[in-house]
Amino acid sequence: METKRTDIASLGEFGLIEHLTKALKPLNHSTVLGVGDDAAILDYKDKQVVVTTDLLLEGIHFDLTYVPLKHLGYKAAVVNFSDVYAMNAQPKQITVSLGLSKRFSVEDIEALYEGINLACSKYGVDVIGGDTSASYTGLTISITCLGEGDKETIVRRSGAKPSQLICVSGDLGAAYMGLQLLEREKTVFKGETEFKPAFEGKEYLLERQLKPEARKDIIERLAENDILPTSMIDISDGLSSELMHLCKNSEVGCRIYEDRIPIDYQTAVMAEEFNMNLVTAALNGGEDYELLFTVPIELHDQVAAIEGVRIIGHTTEKDLGAALITRDGLEVPLKAQGWVAPM
């Protein structure tokens, strides 16, 4: 059976945007007017607004050999939501701009939007605008996300003080291992027309790479337990790099403990298979989209009781710098690897 392939030019730019967004009903009170005017109109009343943006380029941030368009759309939306949660705010609206080469059909873009819309409906976010344009090469996705928070509870990177607890949600390094796995299978399948590798027993790694989630649940649990982090950041470029951002912005140092870093069993198995250093993967892997945050030491018991959160160390005075304490008790200075995350 042949796949249907409708030329984008047959709908035109206006037709395409209408086609993709006509089914969308606003989910939020703050969305006054969505797609269809010179600009969208929002009303946040007494809330503060947070804004974040991400540009994703084919070949740099994603490889369509092994990333289905629906997954790509889902992930492109979710990584923006993650930035908003990292402010202790709630994502409410996104704009989506697409640059499309002739390689892409209307059905392709429908698949991409299926993923975007799925993420939006799961996280309660409205698509309020965007732009589609022809492109000479590949696929370009630019998403801007707006969210809302209360002035008193929005959390920045800069609020940590010395001697506070450093916490992280979920586990680290799995998305990076998922990427290694996909890259390896891609090499194996080079030249074959269909990419159908066997990934049994490694589903978690693939899911973390291809369909990450933003930690809305952690934000909710913290609020339920009256825990307001003093600083927070999401882990997109690796724990090490994000921890250094947090320390720099807060003007503190830190000590984290190797044996406290949360790592999933599949991640460990895969690291051994690839003969890679597991801790390095967890520290520098990137694309975890977990939350890294600090809390006052008085909240130790409350935060330790939250499922899915691990205390991995503590902040120090600034002049002590940022370091990892290994299992052997050695102190190793942390380095930001400046990981440019593919997706």
User: Shortest gap between Cβ of 142 and a copy of itself (angstroms)?
Assistant: 4
Of the pair 57, 268, the CB lying nearest a copy of itself is at 57
* Contact in structure between 246 and 160 (CB atoms under 8 Å): yes
Q: Are 342 and 245 in contact (CB under 8 A)?
A: no
Q: Is 72:153 a contact under the CB 8 Å cutoff? A: no
Provide the minimum distance between the beta carbon of 258 and a copy of itself in the complex, in angstroms, as a whole number: 26
Do 285 and 176 meet the contact criterion of CB atoms below 8 Å apart? yes
Q: How far is the CB of 134 from a copy of itself (least distance, A)?
A: 6
Residue placing its CB nearer to a copy of itself in the complex, 222 or 271: 222
Nearer to a copy of itself, 161 or 245 (CB): 245
Please identify, using beta-carbon distances, which residue of 145 and 181 lies nearer to a copy of itself: 145
Whole-angstrom distance, CA of residue 90 vs CA of residue 92: 6
Residues 173, 320 contacting (CB under 8 angstroms) = no
Q: Which residues bind a copy of itself (CB under 8 A)?
A: 12-14, 32-33, 36-46, 48-55, 57, 59-61, 83-84, 86-87, 89, 93, 95, 97-99, 128-131, 133-138, 140, 142, 144-147, 149, 151, 154, 156-158, 232-234, 249, 338, 340
Of 271 and 334, CB closest to a copy of itself: 334
DSSP for residue 155 = -
Distance in Å, CB of 306 to a copy of itself, minimum: 21
Identity of the residue, 37 or 192, whose beta carbon is nearer to a copy of itself in the bound complex: 37
Cα gap 79→214, rounded to integer Å:
7
Residue 333 CB, nearest approach to a copy of itself (Å): 18
What burial letters (b/e) apply to 257-277, b meaning 16+ CB within 10 Å? Answer: bbeebbbbebbbebbeeeebe
Min. distance of Cβ 337 from a copy of itself in angstroms?
A: 11
The CA distance from 178 to 174, in Å, is 6
